[in-house]
Amino acid sequence: MQTKKKVTIFSLLLLAFGFLFNVKAAPNPIVFQGNGVLVDLMFPEEAHPLDNIYHNLTITAQTYLSPLSITVSIYAPINSAWQIIGSPTYINLPSMIFNQSFPTSFSFDLPQNTNGTLRCTLDIQTNQTNYSSLTFYTTQVRTQTYSEILANYESLLASFETLAAKYFTLNQTYNNLTSTYQTLNSTYFSLLANYNSLNSTYTSLLAQNSALQTSYDTLTSTYNTILADRDAINNQKEILQLNYGNLTSNYGKLQGLYGALELNYTTLISNQTDLETALNRLNQTLTDREAELAQKESAQAQLESGLTYDKIVMVIFLAAVVGLIALIVYIKKKEPEPYMVIRKETVAVKPEEEKKE
């Protein structure tokens, strides 16, 4: 509906514009007849400021005239006022017979600020009348003449027809684009609603993710701390297991030595009867051995409190045993061995020795 109104208004403006530029200046020449004379004035229809133009004047007598005087004055509209152009033109003829013509012309330069129609005044004096004056308009003076305006109009009209065709094409394109725009606009608002919904969901999920990320960072830090503590504990556990293995091995060795010593002690006890002579000589030594044996038993009881102390006791005990064995060997080498019968007997342990043990 709006497009039809625009086309109608545009067409009316075009018709009014064409009507305006089809109005032309008044045709020339101008003919004046009276007082026994026929005056025919020819002038250019249009001119520009600063142009030099001609006015051709033909005087024809309609009766015998004697004399004839004509004064021609040209006025131009300049700055909303009439100003005479140059000096008046004087034509004086002593006489003219019937139907005699007198052609003449005069030229003048138009002032720069002239804008409008020139005004011409003819003052005629003959023997038929003393004085007669005639005023009329001649040349249209404009910066752009009607002919130039008409040519521009025709050029603009051709351009308008081209533009009108382009306008209808663009109008059709505009209508198509409007329809497409409405469809896209509807789709846009639908997508905007979906976007707002998704954006709200995204904001909520982002807040939840931030909270979960904070919890995850806290748990990760705690986990790393626990992991470091676990590694330290494992290292200490390996060290303790290694120490426990060493202690267990040493304890096994000590038990083996203790078994061997106990076997030797049993053997020595079984040989006590046969070695009374040697034992008497070695009574003091045996007493020392028993004291050392007591120290060994005490060291065995304290084995769990310190491995170093056990080793020292065992070393001392072994040294004593070795010394004792060396002493026995030395004694046996020095004296002839008696003939002895070794019997396996059960040795009764004295209560004092049980208490010592």
- pLDDT tens string for the chain (357 positions)? 455 555 454 554 444 444 333 333 344 678 888 778 899 999 998 999 999 999 999 999 988 888 888 899 999 999 889 999 988 989 999 989 999 999 999 899 999 889 889 999 988 888 876 678 888 899 999 887 667 777 777 878 777 778 888 888 888 899 999 989 999 998 999 899 999 999 999 999 999 998 999 989 999 999 999 988 888 898 888 898 888 888 888 888 888 888 888 888 787 777 777 767 766 777 777 787 777 777 777 766 666 666 666 677 788 888 888 888 888 888 877 755 555 555 555 555 555 555 555
Measure the CA–CA gap between 75 and 57, rounded to whole angstroms.
17
Residue 229 main-chain phi, psi, to 5 deg = -65, -40
One-letter amino acid of 12: L
Tokens standing for residue 123: 């003052």
pLDDT at position 56, please? 93
* pLDDT reported for residue 15: 44
Q: Are 81 and 115 in contact (CB under 8 A)?
A: no
Note the pLDDT tens digit of each residue in 87-138: 898 999 998 999 999 999 989 999 988 988 999 998 888 887 667 888 889 9
CB-facing half-sphere around the CA of 357: CA atoms within 13 A: 7
CA nearest to 296, candidates 328, 265, 268: 265
**349 exposure class (CB count in 10 Å sphere: 0-12, 13-18, 19+):** exposed
Question: DSSP letter string over 306-335?
Answer: -HHHHHHHHHHHHHHHHHHHHHHHHHHHHS
Number of continuous H segments (helices) and E segments (strands) in the chain = 6, 10
Rounded Cα distance, 274 and 268, in Å = 10
pLDDT attached to residue 14: 47
Say if pTM beats, i.e. exceeds, 0.75.
Answer: no
Q: Give 132: exposed, middle or buried? Use CB within 10 Å, 0-12, 13-18, 19+.
A: middle
Cα(244)–Cα(241) distance, rounded to whole angstroms?
Answer: 5
Give the pLDDT of residue 17.
Answer: 43
Rounded-to-integer distance, Cα 222 and Cα 225, Å: 5
Cα–chain center distance at 18: 56
Q: What is the end-to-end Cα distance of the chain in Å, rounded?
A: 130
What does the pLDDT read at residue 18? 43
Give the Cα separation of 231 and 249 in Å (integer).
Answer: 27
Cα distance between residue 128 and residue 343, in whole Å: 210
Instruction: Give the model's pLDDT for residue 120.
Output: 92
Closest CA to 85 of 58, 57, 55, 56: 55
- Cα angle 326-328-330, degrees, rounded to a multiple of 5: 65
* Residue 37 DSSP SS3: strand
